[in-house]
Structure 1
Amino acid sequence: MAPFVDVNGGSVEGGGMEYEKGRKFSVEEVAAHKNTNDAWIVVDGEVYDVTAFLETHPGGAEVILEHLKESDVGQLMRGATSTFDHAHSEAAFGMLKDYHVGSLDGIYCADSTAMHPAKEVDDKSKKFMVDLGKPLVFQVGHLGDGYQEWVHQPIVQKESPRFFASDFMESTTKTLWWVVPLIWIPVVCWLQVIAIRRGFPVDKFITTMPLGFLIWSLVEYILHRFLFHVKTTSYWGNTLHYLLHGCHHKHPMDGYRLVFPPTFATMFAIPLYGMINLMFSRTWAPSVFGFGLLGYVMYDVTHYFIHHGSAANDFTRNLKRFHLNHHFKMREDSYGITSPLWDYVFGTLPAKLKYESSVLN
């Protein structure tokens, strides 16, 4: 059950029971809440019921469960007790307040949510407050200079926020992840058929496949760094940026607005195909573009996995760490999704963290 914290006093709910706000818990009481259906953690002497947060934890539920039996994870969250950098962002500590159920008895420590406050939005943005209970798209533009700060204070929940009052407009903003391979893989195959009909030798696929992947990885990096992270302050600039990419940073666990809608992807695919036609011969162009399109499919599916899948090995674990670092800690770095190659080339890979970078893992 998700906890409700009454900031004006009262009670909170945790583990299916109601507790008086500010209650002191013994070590034994906290230890009784250490399973997947009833998960409590202690952070700097403060007790939090994170049961409802397990499925939405960006690093995966298994990361929390792995440390569930530790007496206090405050130092771990600050990155002070591990070979790997587990340092959580200020925004991550700010999320804790929603799960607070009390304090650990016998230990005096200032409230951890006060010790690690989420950054306040710039004063300029406080002239307008976004109402999360109303359609968001036509609100965010009013934030002006404070939009960039607001949009990078993530709300980690699985529920999708409302974008538009119109049900039709709302439906156009949502895409299930499996729609991407369902629509585009047949197009990839069709393009290879076109290339063969134009006389392209099949044995040359061994050349056009990695070439197409390489081109896509560069396009992916350029779009993410220079378009998706363009700084905006005007009403329409903020509004368009929120629709394009800002919504993903504000609601990183929204599974319906994580992959590109097909119509939106087509807007980028058409000019890209035109560029490849200028760079390659009439015979080679369809094959190169087709494998570049396959690279895009792999990108979107990988991106979805990073946010909603569980790491099965070191490779996938490092991939998740690298991207979550971008979301929660260093948004000016780590622009590659499927590969850090171009971050290495253009110097946007965090030198200190590299593949050991981690925010919530």
Structure 2
Amino acid sequence: MAFFSLEHSKAAYLTDFILYGVAVSCLTIFLGWSAPFSHPWQMLALLGIGLIAASLIEYLLHRFILHGLQPFRRWHQTHHARPTALIGTPTILSITLIVFFVFSPALLLGDVLRASALTLGLTTGYLFYTITHHATHHWQADSSWLKRRKIQHARHHHLDTHPVFFGVTTSFWDDVFHSNVIERVKIKDSNK
């Protein structure tokens, strides 16, 4: 079924960028008009928690699901074998995961404004991830930040026997979990 295909047509591939761009815009407008001005810090804190959670989820899913569990590992290996192919998470799957595992629990624990603020942070983080991942494979690096991201991601793609550098948007979690050290891989190899 086309909705669940890993390799997308150009139109389906662009759907994530458009859909999540619209979702971020709509949530921002909704919160701007609806959020009580007496609690702006609470909304900003939830937005920040969503952004941080998005980067941690990106790292954990990439490291432990896409490189650890079948059939996800096999699917992700297709991306490693053909990094410029239009391969990605089906939009219907990512939307479902965000609604059921972020918005719905947040709604049950709070209210629609708090759930929307948390979801806005996570959705913004996911949109940032999709754009960054696309850029690492398809764009010329004009900024030092994108050059670093491209180098880190290229290292990730070319060290298949001992994958490192699972963060796409940031190296922070690679630093925290020590998955950014190529020397450690060399040391392990020399001890065999």
For 1:265, the equivalent position in structure 2 comes to 94
Which residue matches 1:219?
Answer: 57
> Residues of 1 paired with 2:3 and 2:40: CA distance?
46
Map 1:278-297 to 2 at 5 A. 281-282=110-111, 283-297=113-127
Going from structure 1 to structure 2, the CA distance change for 1:195 and 1:315 (only over 3 Å counts) comes to: closer
Give the counterpart letter for 1:225 in structure 2.
R
**What is the one-letter code of the residue matched to 1:308?**
H
Q: Higher strand share goes to which structure? A: 1
Q: CA deviation at 1:207?
A: 3.2
Equivalent pair of 2:31/2:116 in contact (CA under 8 Å)? yes
Q: Secondary structure at the match of 1:178?
A: helix
Superposed displacement of residue 206, structure 1: 4.1
Structure-2 change in CA distance of 1:169 and 1:211 (3 Å): closer
**1:315 match: secondary structure:** helix
More helix by percentage: 2
| Residues 189 and 290, structure 1, Cα contact 8 Å, conserved in 2 | no
> Do 2:132 and 2:169's aligned partners in 1 also have CA atoms closer than 8 Å?
yes
Q: Deviations over 1:31-78 (max 9, x none)?
A: xxxxxxxxxxxxxxxxxxxxxxxxxxxxxxxxxxxxxxxxxxxxxxxx
Match of 1:242?
74
Trace 1:334-349 onto structure 2 (pairs within 5 A). 334-349=165-180
1:66-123 per-residue CA deviation (whole Å, 9 max, x = no partner) reads xxxxxxxxxxxxxxxxxxxxxxxxxxxxxxxxxxxxxxxxxxxxxxxxxxxxxxxxxx
For residues 22 and 138 of structure 2, the distance between their equivalents in structure 1, rounded to whole angstroms, comes to 25
- Unaligned stretches of 5+ residues in structure 2: 185-192
1:320 counterpart residue number:
150
Q: How many residues are treated as equivalent by the alignment?
A: 176
Relative to structure 1, the CA distance from residue 323 to residue 187 in structure 2 (aligned partners, 3 Å threshold; closer, same or farther) is same
| Cα offsets for 1:240-297 (capped at 9, x unmatched) | 5433x2211121121x21x33211212321232234446x631322112112101101
Task: Provide structure 1 residue ranges, at least 5 long, that are not aligned to the other structure.
Answer: 1-167, 354-361
Q: Which has the higher contact order (CA 8 A, sep 6+)?
A: 2
By how many angstroms is 1:314 displaced? Answer: 2.2
Say if 2:164 and 2:182, in contact at 8 Å, map to a contact too.
Answer: no
CA distance in 1: counterparts of 2:78 and 2:58, whole angstroms: 18
C-alpha distance in 2, partners of 1:340/1:288? 23
TM-score (norm 2): 0.77
1:42-57 alignment runs, 5 A limit: none
What is the distance in 2 between the residues matched to 1:223 and 1:326?
A: 15
Contact residue 180 and residue 262 of structure 1 kept, 8 A: yes
Cα distance change on mapping 1:285 and 1:324 into 2, 3 Å: same
Aligned match of 1:187? 23
Q: Is 1:212–1:288's contact at 8 Å kept on the other side of the alignment?
A: yes
For 1:298, give the aligned amino acid: F
The answer as to whether partners of 2:3 and 2:92 remain within 8 angstroms in 1 is: no
1:332 aligns with 2:170: no
Equivalent position amino acid for 1:189 in 2: S
Contact 2:17–2:127, Cα closer than 8 Å, also in 1: yes
**C-alpha deviation, 1:170, in angstroms:** 9.6
TM-aligned CA deviation for residue 306 of structure 1: 0.1
In 1: Cα distance, 2:18 partner to 2:3 partner: 22
In 1, Cα distance between equivalents of 2:16 and 2:30: 21
Percent identity (aligned): 21
